[in-house]
Amino acid sequence: MSCDSLRKRLEARLDPVASWTPERTATRSDYDLNPGAARPARELRPAAVLIPIIMHDDGPTVLMTRRSDSLASHTGQIAFPGGRLDPGETAGQAALREAFEEVALDPGVVELLGLGDPYETGTGFLVTPVVGWLRSPPQVAPSPDEVAEVFEVPWDFLMDPVNHRRDFYDPEGAPRRWFWAMPFEDRYIWGVTAGILKGLFGRLYGDEVEPLSAAAEDAA
């Protein structure tokens, strides 16, 4: 399956990989659903994630991970491969490096197609989503110190707004916090990861009269 329609849409609507600069500012954030939350003035730490879109005979998927339960933060959460930028790195370079370190994804099989909306996290990171294109399923192996599981989610599931829901939690002594969630089978995709996917949906299909039909056509 070539998924030419999806590839053309990604190339047309994402920012060029070469356009990345350290001066990019957030256009989406954890605060989008919480406009009344205190937003500290701070210098955001640059980070990047790789969104690997994989071609299959029955349609494209997105590679995702479940973080190790032994990590100091965000244990067991669903995520994309990614992390902080090293000094002198671009977002694309960092995304590929982190994917190799976390799941042994060979950078040579990934074609970087574009950048999604920069995303500010509540923990003070500015995350650049980097979309990668893989023509066939790759060989991967999770690093046990960082990743408990590697799995794939169908593209048309993630781009179906029926699967995008607003959930919340009530922190002790603090106002209710809302976030995007996309539960898939027995996995709960939420928070920054779901917010980035929601932003990608908006960038690719937000102006479509029938976004679900457009996403399904791309996945056909």
Q: What is the pLDDT of residues 125-149, one digit of tens each?
A: 999 999 999 999 999 999 988 899 9
DSSP state of 122: T
The answer on pLDDT for 162 being more than 90 is yes
- Distance between CA 183 and CA 149 in Å, rounded? 16
The yes/no answer on whether domain 4-16+44-218 falls in CATH 3.90.79.10 is yes
Q: Which residue is it, tokens 């920054």?
A: 192
pLDDT of residue 2: 61
Which phi and psi angles does 15 have, rounded to 5°? -75, 145
pLDDT of residue 94: 98
- Distance between CA 172 and CA 205 in Å, rounded? 37
pLDDT of residue 67: 87
Whole-structure pTM value? 0.94
- Distance between CA 211 and CA 55 in Å, rounded? 21
**CA contacts within 13 A on the Cβ side of 103:** 28
- Distance between CA 101 and CA 45 in Å, rounded? 20
